[in-house]
């Protein structure tokens, strides 16, 4: 996605700007009030910025762009930002989102980025952030309004001021994965039922050469996946099931990475029906599966040398005479009996069987994604996501991956004594607690029962999957968070190597 946008890099400083439709210039913060590096119209821009000090781009930690038009014949729009070496990835990406919004407001065909007076390391980081933000902002998410969007013209991004070329292939792959995740998540529930979702997945599998298997309700009954089937039985349409996709590079015997996603295409809450305020937006409860799928796409585009298994649990949590209910006891495919406590805790039910099935492939590492609990939002808000792992020594690594990628996560405890709240008098485990305290931790402890103890596992509770006004480089409320985080974990933090 966004493959139509070409990125060209130049080592030389910013030349004449008459041939560009819009301009973004990034300066070092330290020189904003002193001597500016030389570039076209720098004197004019400095005078204007000084005269409008209230718009000083160094005025806050995330940076506030200064926007104006150049005094040339074309009146070229320019957005000016300032950075320094201390700024983290989240700050750079946030500034990049603001600069991208200012530049793309003019719907340019050619957009020029000028890194003026920055060290190569900082220029490279800022260029990467800007390309990520531009690819996200220029992607048109689907809508169903009668009045169509004006088509985006952006075809070329020209980058000047880099001392040497920067490899942006990963940025483009991550953008493609994130755009896919956001595209799917924004679709209304009548446009993305499990059956329609599966059709879209099948088309992607054909396009990218993934092997695809669909475990329908009949097969899941044979596999005794009672936790998943309990949620599925409330729907009048038997289209639920688990999709298993496989990316297999040639000539490798490495064990796969398993990506698992919660795909509840609509969540009524079941018999414990949600109130209207909390049911609105529940078509987004499949975002975990969309992030898993987007991550698979990004890894495929990068042609990684290890196999990837992607498991998508697709279902709707409906009400009806056959819907599962409180105090039901069901048995998952690994033999664990579960006492149902709350039918709106359906995500952990479908993930239980999906994780257990994924473990049978003996992955080197397993990561699951889910918009799972409200308590994670209460704990962190919507600017961070929660992270849990059965490898406690990885907690600092998870934090670092979040900081480096700009998709921030915070780890929570996974101590065994939390299990006392999940003890059942009639089954092996309770689905959740009626108290509701620390439910994000209890959900992770519940899922842990379905993960093979020999398999390193990370669970991501996507509390930042929707953030009003966008987050980091993403301009939309739906963030698709998780793709950049996962690639950092796999390619930079090398979790697969650590798990072997």
Q: Taking the CB of residue 331, how many other CB atoms lie within 10 A of it? A: 16
3-class SS of residue 356: helix
Considering 182, 262, 348, 449, which one is annotated as catalytic?
Answer: 348
Q: For the chain, give me the number of helices (H) and strands (E)? A: 15, 17
Considering 29, 246, 274, 331, which one is annotated as catalytic?
Answer: 274
Report the alpha-carbon distance of residue 73 to residue 58 in Å, rounded: 29
3-class SS of residue 208: helix
Catalytic residue flag (residue 147): no
Cβ-in-10-Å burial (0-12, 13-18, 19+) of 210 comes to buried
Report the alpha-carbon distance of residue 482 to residue 484 in Å, rounded: 6
Copy the structure tokens of residue 177.
């994965």
Report the alpha-carbon distance of residue 478 to residue 470 in Å, rounded: 7
Residue of 143, 207, 166, 158 lying closest to 1 (CA atoms): 207
Answer yes or no: are the C-beta atoms of 227 and 350 closer than 8 Å.
yes
Phi, psi torsion values for 462, nearest 5 degrees = -80, 65
Copy the structure tokens of residue 184.
């799917």
Report the alpha-carbon distance of residue 481 to residue 464 in Å, rounded: 7
Copy the structure tokens of residue 470.
């966008």
Q: For the stretch 49-71, what's the b/e string if a residue is b when 16 or more beta carbons lie within 10 angstroms of its beta carbon?
A: beeeeeebbbeeeebbbbbbebe
Phi-psi map region of 241: left, alpha, beta (phi>0 left; psi -120 to 50 alpha): left
Q: Taking the CB of residue 404, how many other CB atoms lie within 10 A of it? A: 18
Catalytic residue flag (residue 348): yes
Supply the residues annotated as catalytic. 274, 348
């Amino acid at each position: 996605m966004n493959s139509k946008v070409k990125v060209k890099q130049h080592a030389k400083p910013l030349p004449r700007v008459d041939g560009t439709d819009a301009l973004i210039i990034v300066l070092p913060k330290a020189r904003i009030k002193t001597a500016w590096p030389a570039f076209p119209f720098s004197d004019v821009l400095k005078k204007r910025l000084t005269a409008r000090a209230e718009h000083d781009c160094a005025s806050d930690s995330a940076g506030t762009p200064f926007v104006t038009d150049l005094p040339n014949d074309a009146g070229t729009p320019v957005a000016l930002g300032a950075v320094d070496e201390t700024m983290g990835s989240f700050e750079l990406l946030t500034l990049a989102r603001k600069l991208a919004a200012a530049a793309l407001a003019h719907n340019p065909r050619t957009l020029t980025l000028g890194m003026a007076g920055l060290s190569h390391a900082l220029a490279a980081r800022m260029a990467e952030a800007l390309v990520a933000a531009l690819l996200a902002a220029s992607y048109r998410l689907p809508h169903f309004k009668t009045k169509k969007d004006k088509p985006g013209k952006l075809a070329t991004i020209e980058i000047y001021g880099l001392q040497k070329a920067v490899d942006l292939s990963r940025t483009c792959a991550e953008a493609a994965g994130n755009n896919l995740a956001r595209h799917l998540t924004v679709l209304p529930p009548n446009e993305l039922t499990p059956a329609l979702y599966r059709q879209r997945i099948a088309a992607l599998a054909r396009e990218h050469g993934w092997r695809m298997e669909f475990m329908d309700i009949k097969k899941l009954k044979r596999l005794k996946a009672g936790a998943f089937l309990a949620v599925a039985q409330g729907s009048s349409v038997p289209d639920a099931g688990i999709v298993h996709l496989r990316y297999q590079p040639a000539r490798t015997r490495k064990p796969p990475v398993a990506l698992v996603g919660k795909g509840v295409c609509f969540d009524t809450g079941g018999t414990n029906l949600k109130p209207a305020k909390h049911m609105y937006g529940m078509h987004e409860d499949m975002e975990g599966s969309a992030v898993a799928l987007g991550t698979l796409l990004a890894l495929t585009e990068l042609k990684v040398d290890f196999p990837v298994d992607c498991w998508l649990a697709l279902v709707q949590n409906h009400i009806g005479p056959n819907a599962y209910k409180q105090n039901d006891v069901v048995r998952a495919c690994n033999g664990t009996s579960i006492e149902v406590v709350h039918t709106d805790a359906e995500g952990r039910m479908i993930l239980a069987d999906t994780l257990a099935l994924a473990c049978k492939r003996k992955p080197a590492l397993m990561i699951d994604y889910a918009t799972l609990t409200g308590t994670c939002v209460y704990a962190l808000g919507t600017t961070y996501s929660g992270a849990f792992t059965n490898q406690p020594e990885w907690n600092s690594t998870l934090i670092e991956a979040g900081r480096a990628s700009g998709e921030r996560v915070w780890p929570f405890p996974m101590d065994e004594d939390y299990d006392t709240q999940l003890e059942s008098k009639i089954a092996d485990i309770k689905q959740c607690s009626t108290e509701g305290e620390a439910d994000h931790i209890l959900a992770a402890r519940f899922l842990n029962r379905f993960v093979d103890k020999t398999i390193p596992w990370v669970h991501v509770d996507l509390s930042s999957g929707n953030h009003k006004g966008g987050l980091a480089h993403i301009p939309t409320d739906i963030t698709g968070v998780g793709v950049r985080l996962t690639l950092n974990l796999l390619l930079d933090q090398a979790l697969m190597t650590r798990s072997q």
